[in-house]
Chains A and B, each alone.
Chain A
Amino acid sequence: MTSLIIILSVILLFVVLIQIAKIYEIAEEIKGEEYSEITSADSNSKGLLIFCVVFFASFIWGCLYYANYMLGYGPLKSASAHGGAIDSMFNVTAFFTIIVFVICHIALFWFAYQFRYRPGRKTLFIPHNDKLELIWTGVPAFVMVILVVKGLIAWNEIMADTKKGEEHISIEATAWQFAWNLRYPGADSELGVKDFRLIKPGINELGQDWNDERNLDDFNADELVLPKGKKVRISIVARDVLHAFYLPHFRVKMDAVPGIPTYFVFTPTKTTEEFRQELKKYKEYQGPSDPSDPNSPPKWKAFNYELACAELCGKGHYSMRRLVKVVSPEEYEKWLTTQKSYYLSSIRNTEEDPFKGKPIGIELKSEAIKLESALAKALDTSNTNLADRTLNLNNIYFETGSATLSKESEMALNILKNAFEKYPKLKVEISGHSDNVGDANVNLILSQQRAAAVKTYLKNNGIDESKISTNGYGMSKPIESNEKEEGRAKNRRIEFKILSF
């Protein structure tokens, strides 16, 4: 019913309009063509003048009213090092264009008023004026040169990639319908390679190749966390269709293209907290952050930097949001230590893991570090705890069922070799142990052979064999219960017992 009334009233409105128009036309016919021409010129030229005034007034009002919401004017100043150059470029352009905008409009509307129709008014016959035209070709050209030069200087500085060896943090942003994935490089500061053919939704979203060691410490973050004052290089790529990586507060924007990685390099200059403190000073940001709940925290307190998508990517384009947090470098380092490698937490020893059941580089490294500190502790003369002088060599590996040392063992063996060189008087016993699976005799012989293999390696590397005695104990000295696989794994071991040094 209401819609019918609306439709009817709209139709009625048009009928009224047409009737008014008809009446006007009849009235004009009565008053004469010239009279109506004059009144039309008068009323419309005045209309144009009034429009001009209202137009400028609303332009100024808008600028003032929205100043504190617009980037660059109120508190929303750039939060990145390069952003200031963009904002200043904007303002320089605004300066020149507003002058032209105002002058042209005044001239346009004023001439329309001043030279409105009057019967018998003599018009000027000026087909052209070369001097005038030269001036208004030259002046815009000159202004454009200023804008081009200033703009391109800023552009080339902002878009420059990081130089080789330049210190920066690499982060990868991958977009798909309709989410962002943020990948950090982990301890090695390098992102591992990936291939879209390896993607498995929910398991390997990026298609990381786990054979690439650089992938193993990479981690994904829910929020883009950045340290203040450090150069960041975001490598940007898409998995399905075009997206765009857009950080409005940082003046950062770049398309994400499938197959063609792009990048943006920038340096955050304000932590989230510092930005909030800036906002706090403005009344626009003191109202409740949730308009429906007056007790919600004020807007400035609820403020967060945001990552958005700025290239149409499908029906969920408007919802690709991630929070961005800028923290102090110290907090950033702390945050890094709480992040877990995606590989280690979700892939390691699953069906996806090409190293399932095998040692991998980063594990070896961390074991090596542990071994080094255990050795230092054992060789510390002030340390009276004798138990510390027996080291469990967790990272010496053998081919399954044989006494052949596998390549992964070299790191640990070299640490031992270095210890012998550093402490010429060092004497040790190396002993082999096994779990209780299989034939006891076979196990005993294997444990002896394995201990001997370690000795042989050290001997071949220039260590006097008299310093090393070896022993094999088989399954006779378990350190854990053999009931579970974990316990059995611990019992299969090489011990390094320091006799004297």
Chain B
Amino acid sequence: MSSVHHQEQDQLIEKYGYDDHFHEHHEGDKFQFNFLTKYIFSMDHKIIARQFLFTGIFWAIIGSAMSIIFRLQLGFPDASIAWLKPLLGKWIVLNDAGVGTLEPEFYYALVTMHGTIIVFFVLTAGLSGTFSNFLIPLQIGARDMASPFLNMLSYWFFFLSSVVMFYSLFLSTGPFSGGWTAYPPLSALPQASIGSGAGMTLWLVSLALFVVSVLLGGMNYITTVLNLRTKGMSLWRMPLTIWAFLVTAIIGLLSFPVLFSGFLLLIFDRSMGTSFYLSDIFVNGMALDRIGGSPILYQHIFWFLGHPEVYIIILPAMGIVSEVLSVHARKPIFGYRAMVYSILAIAFLSFIVWAHHMFMSGVNPFLSNFFVVFTLIIAVPSAVKVFNWISTLYGGNIRLNTPMLFCIGFISMFISGGLTGIFLGNSAIDIQQHDTYFVVAHFHIVMGVAAFFGMFAGVYNWFPKMFGRYMNDTLGKIHFWVTLIGAYAIFGPMHFLGMAGVPRRYYLFDKFDAFSGFDTMNKFITIAAIISFFAQIVFVINFFWSMYKGKRVTSQNPYGSNSLEWTTPIDAGHGNWPGKIPTVQRWSYDYGKDGIEFTQQHVPLREGETPSDH
């Protein structure tokens, strides 16, 4: 690519673009006049996106490091971890021989925090927060979000939520330890577990703040996509990333308030003497005087968010993969409309399947019939997406760079993890598989690893747009290969554990004959987890090193991509386009059309060219 091309783009924008008189604000942006407002309390969506990304990376390191500690316990229960005592203090108990073991209480706290952190702070805020913020205005041709101020608040509520959660890690009674789903009565009764004391209070405060953050962000994303699209950008011309972010925000807006109400009732139960979730309880030598509640009610409320939450995590990853896959395969995404409809179908269905997490929780078995039907229907739009991604590769000219490799890894993970969902969604099989390692394997592959792969694809792909430099491709490939093999080495064997009936959330397996005897496998999994963890450190080093030392981006559109973010200057300021806003003339996936490698969205139809039928 050359600077000539650069100029051509600018000329096109100058010729066809929409003049919103942005350039008449002579200083460009009156809200960015010092370091504090430019980098800390910034209202520029690109800065806020980076803030979300950095915070997400911070939490990802903590969350995955926690998993390494509890994997050490599971893989090497007899090995001394006294060397972790400087970090974990009293949670490591030394015996007379100096052998340090992890306290069961803290094991469960680690498991709980790992889940909470990865699900909410990394894969919701870190993934959707980063890319929705970064890409929505850039790809739809807007100068910023509809409300940059609310957008800034969205990050700072997340930040506050993070601070509270981080603080809870250092409590003398430890952070919350009752599982990331926080089922009462365990979570409601401090006398049932020490982690349910101050740790749980802070957990609730933190997640309440988090809900505020998600809602502020979500309202903004929806408003921006619906109202601030540039001229010509009809809904059916939008990149699939935008469709995914839009639908994700809608799901979040509908489901997070329900979770909040559930938390509110839990707060009442914990501190105001109500009994929404409590009945017939005798704990710690005393009968609780409050009756009439139902612990299952909480599960309904929780999973009414909890299941859509799974799609809040995976839809943005799907959107990113669809876009990156198409760009680097140099082909239009196959079945664009089917992809959109399947996103909508998945989003709709995600609201009527929540009780498949509760087949074995004591709900009326008759009720489960409906949830089985709806759950397995989700397999259909998911299958359509997989087949369409694979078809997108067919007949392409595939650049196997790091983002593309992560897309392929994502599809593989989504296939593997999605298929095991068909087992678990069938209530009859769930009788045996529920709460075993089969479930652990399933959801880690399909919404953990797959979502991370989507996120990595996005980070590697848009890093040049974010920082004006490339990430190192060799380190990226090392990262990809170790992570791909490592992730399957960790979670593949867990299917066998689950099929042997081994329950999840066990601190030790040797209390039961049926669950012991997999020592070698557990060691293998732990070693694979440690290696994969170090591969993520490679990513982090690559990320920060490339920010300052990476190869500089020299052309405006390095990938030959169609979407509008690549029409902005390499180092775009607040407002994204220095002059006019580009107007959109065509679909965003005109790759290889009429023998031309790519045609950007703001390029008018050539003479005699018919708009793409998609």
| Chain A residues packing against B (C-beta within 8 Å) | 3, 10, 14, 17-18, 20-22, 24-25, 37, 40-41, 44-45, 47-48, 51, 55, 58-59, 62, 66, 69-72, 76, 83, 85-86, 89-90, 93-94, 96-97, 100-101, 104-105, 107-109, 111-112, 115-118, 121-129, 132-133, 136-137, 140-141, 144, 147-148, 151-152, 154-156, 158-159, 176-177, 196-197, 199, 201, 207, 239-242, 244, 246, 248-249, 251-255, 257-260, 262, 289, 302-304, 306, 308-319, 321
Q: Are A123 and B397 in contact (CB under 8 A)?
A: yes
Name the contact of A93 in the complex, choosing from B333, B384, B422, B475 (C-beta under 8 A).
B422
- Cβ–Cβ < 8 Å partners of A259 in chain B: 278-281, 291, 293-295
Using a CB-CB cutoff of 8 Å, which residues 267-316 of chain B contact chain A? Answer: 278-283, 285, 287, 291, 293-296
**Bound complex: CA of A178 vs CA of B334, how far in Å?**
54
- Please provide the chain B residues from 467 to 517 with a CB less than 8 Å away from any CB of chain A in the complex: 472-475, 477-478, 481, 484-485, 488, 492-493, 496, 499-501, 503, 505-509, 511-515, 517
Least distance between B549 CB and chain A CB atoms (Å): 9
Complex A-B: 8 CB contacts under 8 Å: A40-B473, A86-B428, A127-B332, A128-B337, A133-B384, A201-B285, A207-B282, A258-B279
Q: Which 3 A-B pairs have the closest CB atoms?
A: A259-B279, A124-B395, A248-B501
Q: B602 interface residue, CB < 8 Å from A?
A: no
* A59 touching B538 in the complex, CB below 8 Å, given contacts A41-B398, A122-B595, A147-B376: no
Q: Cα distance A199–B420 when bound, in Å?
A: 43
Please determine whether A241 and B593 come into contact, CB atoms closer than 8 angstroms.
no
Q: Which of B40-48, B51-59, B64-72, B186-194 lines the interface with chain A? A: B186-194
Closest to B381 in A: A137
Q: Are A133 and B335 in contact (CB under 8 A)?
A: yes
Cβ contact within 8 Å between A97 and B419: yes
| A144 B296 Cβ-Cβ under 8 A | no
B177 nearest CB across to chain A (Å):
8
Contact of B400 among A41, A121, A201 (CB under 8 A): A41
Collect the chain B residues with CB atoms within 8 Å of residue A101's CB. Answer: 415-416, 419
Inter-chain contact A100/B419, CB cutoff 8 Å: yes
Q: Name B411's contact: one of A10, A108, A254, A313 (CB within 8 Å).
A: A108
Residues of B with C-beta under 8 A to A40:
399-401, 473, 477
CB of B362 within 8 A of CB of A253, answer no
Chain B min CB distance to A90 (Å): 5
Which of B128-136, B250-258, B366-374 participates in binding chain A?
Answer: B366-374
Known contacts A14-B538, A40-B473, A123-B395, then 16 further A-B pairs from the complex at CB < 8 Å, ordered by chain A residue: A3-B83, A10-B534, A48-B400, A62-B496, A97-B422, A104-B386, A125-B593, A127-B589, A132-B391, A144-B422, A242-B185, A248-B501, A253-B434, A311-B435, A312-B179, A319-B511
What is the chain B residue whose CB lies nearest that of A140? Answer: B383
Q: Residue B18 at the A interface, CB < 8 A? A: no
> Whole-angstrom distance between the alpha carbons of A180 and B104 in the complex?
20
Output the nearest chain B residue to A10 by Cβ-Cβ distance: B534
Q: Is the CB of B397 within 8 A of A118?
A: yes
A contact residues around B534 at 8 Å (CB): 10
Which residues of B from 384 to 435 have beta carbons under 8 Å from A? 384, 386-388, 390-391, 393-401, 405, 408, 411-412, 415-416, 419-420, 422-423, 426-429, 431-432, 434-435
A86 engages B282 (CB within 8 Å): no
Q: Are B412 and A105 in contact (CB under 8 A)?
A: yes
Q: Which of A18, A76, A115 contacts B397 (CB 8 A)?
A: A115
Q: From A66, A100, A127, give the contact of B612 (CB < 8 A).
A: A127
Q: Kindly state the separation between the CA atoms of A37 and B397 in the bound complex, as whole angstroms.
A: 11
Closest to B501 in A: A248
Instruction: List chain A residues, Cβ under 8 A from B429.
Output: 86, 89-90, 93, 151
A104: contacting residue among B193, B369, B415, B478, CB under 8 A: B415
Name the CB-closest residue of B to A144: B376
Chain A residues, Cβ within 8 Å of B545: 18
Within the complex, which residue of B177, B178, B360, B597 is in contact with A255, where a contact is CB–CB below 8 Å? Answer: B360
User: Do A47 and B496 touch across chains, with their CB atoms under 8 A apart?
Assistant: no
CB proximity of B523 to chain A, nearest CB, Å: 15
Docked-complex contact B499 and A310, CB < 8 angstroms: no
B605: chain A residues within 8 A (beta carbon)? none
Given known A148-B373, A241-B189, contact A93–B426 (CB-CB < 8 A): yes
Inter-subunit contact B506/A156 (CB<8 Å): no
Of listed A37, A48, A118, residue having the most chain B CB within 10 A: A48
- Indicate with 1 or 0, residue by residue over B307-337, a CB within 8 angstroms of chain A CB atoms: 0000000000000000000000111111111
